[in-house]
């Protein structure tokens, strides 16, 4: 049987989270060179929904209140800097994300806060439960951010009558 609170597993999950976060930062930097589409906005949260399958495993299950709070922290707190840091511009009848140096700092700051919280929380609950909490936090964050992106995309693509573009 695997010890779900072993130091090796803790180090491995931390390294895994760092690698994934740095990959996201790299991908986001490259994305500003390609036009944004509705599909590119909505696919990430849809793809993440498969992560809910983790709750089939009993070791991952958490109280509903913990899960709800984690989702809401992602939705209301962690998504805010991403929403504020994502702006679109229209070039040649296509929509692009405006390059922003601050966006990289926002992502790095969110990563640092998540790593600190992750390290603290996993001292009190198991690693699989910590993973569940942080998945729900990330899901709330990304879902809210992508909904805001979708609204902004629609505004720039289909401006309201009488508005200045």
| CA within 13 Å, CB half, 165 | 17
Cα separation, 8 vs 14, whole angstroms = 10
What integer pLDDT is reported at residue 42 of this predicted model?
96
Q: How many CB atoms lie within 10 A of CB 14?
A: 14
What is the average pLDDT score of the chain?
89
The residue behind tokens 């569940």 is 132
For the segment 68-95, what is each residue's pLDDT rounded down to a tens digit?
A: 999 999 999 999 999 999 999 999 999 9
Task: State residue 52's pLDDT score.
Answer: 98
Strand positions, DSSP E, the chain: 88-91, 94-97
Residue 165 has pLDDT above 70, yes or no: no
Q: Return the domain boundaries, the chain.
A: 7-157
Q: Looking at residue 48, what is its pLDDT?
A: 95
49 phi/psi in degrees, rounded to 5: -60, -25
């Amino acid at each position: 049987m695997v010890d779900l609170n072993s130091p090796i597993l803790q180090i491995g999950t931390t390294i895994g989270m760092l690698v994934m976060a740095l990959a996201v930062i790299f991908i986001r930097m490259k994305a500003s060179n390609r036009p944004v589409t509705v599909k590119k906005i909505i696919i990430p949260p849809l793809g993440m929904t498969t992560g809910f399958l983790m709750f089939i495993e009993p070791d991952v299950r958490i109280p509903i209140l913990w899960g709800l709070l984690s989702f809401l922290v992602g939705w209301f707190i962690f998504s805010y800097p991403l929403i504020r840091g994502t702006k679109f511009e229209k070039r040649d009848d296509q929509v692009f994300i405006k390059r922003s140096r601050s966006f990289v700092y926002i992502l790095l700051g969110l990563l640092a806060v998540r790593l600190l919280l992750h390290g603290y929380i996993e001292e009190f609950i198991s690693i699989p439960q910590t993973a569940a909490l942080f998945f729900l936090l990330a899901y709330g964050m990304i879902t809210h951010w992508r909904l805001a992106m979708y609204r902004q995309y629609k505004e720039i693509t289909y401006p309201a009558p009488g508005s200045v573009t």
